[in-house]
């Protein structure tokens, strides 16, 4: 069985947790297999020590110019994203892409790849805090809210521990296998996320809501999911007239309060469908729907699959109460 060499490019202020989340699954894969099928090489622009975003110095194995033959290159992104000083990296990445080497952007590494024009026409993702800037700056790429994306010879993932999900997915590919990926995931991850899972944050942050009244209303919605309030009650708590609340939501979110509230409840329902073995009746009750059939009627057009199908595709069996 051949050995794959993965190169990890670290730049000043790179994310240490992202680097660890990339490298450790490969180490464990070698441990599980009982032989080295993955080799990791740390690269930096000039070689030597590189400071992570939390100030810890990490020694790279090689400069870019002296890099060995690589099967895949991962760019571990920095925080904050620098405005200048990475031209050498851009040139090197373009050369690697021209040679047909698969590229991966981790956290803001996706932004650096986009700056080099290496994500044009590709589907990608990035940490939700940087999504708006990514979309505005690079109109020729497709930015999703998924934890990770694999599109042909380009892979990207959001920040934090999301690289664990990307790497365990990549371990399903030769010379790895689905069994190997599952064994590594069991050692690392309590709940392995798939290509279709999305980053979940408050609607307030997702939509960059700035109006204080709308924020108050959204907080009420997010805090009252199992027993939904009426829009009139929310308006009363927010100390505005219902018509004013409607206008504010349209301006801030482009949707009515009713639509936003329903989306919040459905998002919560999907988390329970995909990440628990609760019955659909229980999930419906916890998210403010009258019955499992009522939940299904709203859920299916929103997510393109019924709760039962979504749960099966996610790999979690139905509760015995649903059978």
pTM of the model: 0.62
Q: Could you read off the pLDDT of 114-166 as tens digits, one per residue?
A: 999 999 999 999 887 777 778 878 888 988 888 899 999 999 998 888 899 89
Q: Does residue 321 register a pLDDT over 50? A: no
Quick check: 71 and 41 in contact, CB under 8 A? no
Smallest CA-to-CA distance from 281 within 224, 309, 321 is with: 321
User: SS3 for 287?
Assistant: coil
Smallest CA-to-CA distance from 148 within 273, 31, 3, 25 is with: 25
Output the DSSP codes for 265-283: HHHHHHHHHHH----HHHH
What pLDDT, on a 0 to 100 scale, did the predictor assign at position 205? Answer: 54
Domains with residue ranges and CATH for the chain: 4-188 (3.40.50.880), 203-322 (1.10.10.60)
What pLDDT, on a 0 to 100 scale, did the predictor assign at position 148? Answer: 92
Output the DSSP codes for 105-127: EETTHHHHHHHTT-STT-EEE--
For range 227-235, the mean pLDDT: 94
Helix boundaries (H) for the chain: 16-33, 87-98, 109-115, 128-137, 162-170, 178-188, 203-206, 212-223, 231-237, 242-253, 257-275, 280-286, 292-303, 307-314
Residue 139: alpha-carbon gap to chain centroid: 20
State the greatest distance between any 2 C-alpha atoms of the chain, in Å, as a whole number: 69
Residue 323: pLDDT band with limits 50, 70, 90: very low
Q: Could you read off the pLDDT of 77-120 as tens digits, one per residue?
A: 988 777 777 889 999 999 999 999 999 999 889 999 999 999 99
């Amino acid at each position: 069985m051949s050995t794959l060499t993965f190169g990890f490019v670290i730049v000043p202020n790179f994310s240490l947790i992202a680097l660890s989340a990339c490298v450790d699954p490969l180490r464990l894969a070698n441990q599980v297999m009982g032989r080295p099928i993955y080799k990791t090489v740390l690269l930096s622009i000039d070689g030597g020590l590189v400071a992570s975003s939390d100030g810890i110095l990490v020694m790279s194995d090689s400069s870019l110019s002296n890099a060995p033959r690589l099967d895949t290159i991962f760019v571990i992104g920095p925080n904050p994203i620098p405005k200048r000083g990475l031209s050498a990296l851009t040139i090197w990445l373009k050369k690697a892409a021209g040679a047909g080497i698969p590229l991966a952007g981790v956290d803001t590494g996706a932004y650096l790849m986009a700056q080099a024009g290496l994500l044009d026409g590709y589907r990608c993702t990035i940490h939700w805090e940087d999504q708006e800037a990514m979309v505005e700056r690079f109109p020729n790429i497709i930015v999703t809210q998924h934890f990770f994306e694999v599109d042909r010879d380009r892979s990207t993932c959001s920040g934090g521990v999301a690289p664990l999900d990307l790497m365990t997915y990549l371990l399903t590919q030769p010379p790895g296998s689905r069994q190997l990926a599952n064994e590594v995931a069991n050692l690392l991850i309590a709940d392995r996320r798939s290509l279709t899972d999305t980053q979940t944050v408050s609607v307030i942050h997702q939509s960059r809501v700035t109006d204080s009244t709308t924020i108050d209303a959204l907080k009420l919605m997010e805090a009252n999911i199992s027993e939904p309030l009426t829009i009139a009650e929310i308006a009363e708590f927010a100390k505005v007239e219902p018509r004013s609340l409607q206008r504010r939501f349209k301006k801030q979110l482009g949707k009515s309060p009713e639509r936003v509230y329903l989306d919040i409840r459905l998002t919560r329902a999907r988390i329970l469908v995909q990440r628990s073995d609760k019955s659909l009746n229980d999930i419906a009750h916890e998210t403010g729907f009258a019955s499992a059939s009522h939940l299904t009627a709203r859920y299916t057009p929103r997510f393109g699959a019924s709760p039962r199908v979504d749960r099966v595709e996610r790999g979690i069996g139905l509760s015995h109460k649903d059978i």
